[in-house]
């Protein structure tokens, strides 16, 4: 079964909820965004995390280190069917206090439809 317009909308909203939760330090909301068995990998800085509790600890460190970051996610496109989807998006991270770009790159997210809606199962961030 192909993804519906509603699926695509929910996935777009999920990315927006992620950015707002992280940028405005609402970390408990991440439990409604990621699967319990999630994975997060990044090449710059190098990160390789498995499990939601470990990811939550990483987000706490990130927010403490860069409290004024804003994640700008754009050029989103989604492919998939049934209960699986692959989402591609660009990312820019800005420091709103300094007015500088902290980083840029690409997200590649494997999404899973759960009983509670779409969630990020695996995220790979590639810088550049």
What percent of the chain lies above the pLDDT cut of 90?
A: 98
Residue 94, pLDDT > 90, answer yes
Q: How far apart are CA 100 and CA 109, in angstroms?
A: 26
110 falls in which pLDDT band (50, 70, 90)?
A: very high
40 falls in which pLDDT band (50, 70, 90)?
A: very high
Collect all residues with Cβ–Cβ distance below 8 Å to 94 and sequence separation of at least 6. Answer: 69, 70, 72, 100, 101, 102
Closest C-alpha among 67, 62, 58 to residue 96: 67
29, 21 Cβ separation under 8 angstroms: yes
Question: What confidence score (pLDDT) does residue 1 get?
Answer: 85
Residue 86, pLDDT > 90, answer yes
Question: What confidence score (pLDDT) does residue 122 get?
Answer: 98
Mean pLDDT of 9-32: 98
Q: Can you tell me whether residue 25 is helix, strand or coil?
A: coil
Question: What confidence score (pLDDT) does residue 19 get?
Answer: 98
Closest C-alpha among 47, 118, 59, 63 to residue 86: 118
Q: How far apart are CA 83 and CA 114, in angstroms?
A: 8
Structure tokens at 1: 């079964």
The pTM of this model reads: 0.96
């Amino acid at each position: 079964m192909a993804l519906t317009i509603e699926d695509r909308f929910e996935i777009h909203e999920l990315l927006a909820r992620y950015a707002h939760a992280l940028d405005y330090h609402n970390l408990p909301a991440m439990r409604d965004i990621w699967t319990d068995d999630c994975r997060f990998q990044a090449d710059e800085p190098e990160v390789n995390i498995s499990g939601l509790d470990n990811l939550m600890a990483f987000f706490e460190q990130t927010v403490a280190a860069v409290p004024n970051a804003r994640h700008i996610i754009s050029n989103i496109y989604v492919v998939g069917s049934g209960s699986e989807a692959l989402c591609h998006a660009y990312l820019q991270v800005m420091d709103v206090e300094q007015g500088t770009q902290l980083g840029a790159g690409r997200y590649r997210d494997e999404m899973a439809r759960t009983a509670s809606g779409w969630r990020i199962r695996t995220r790979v961030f590639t810088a550049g």
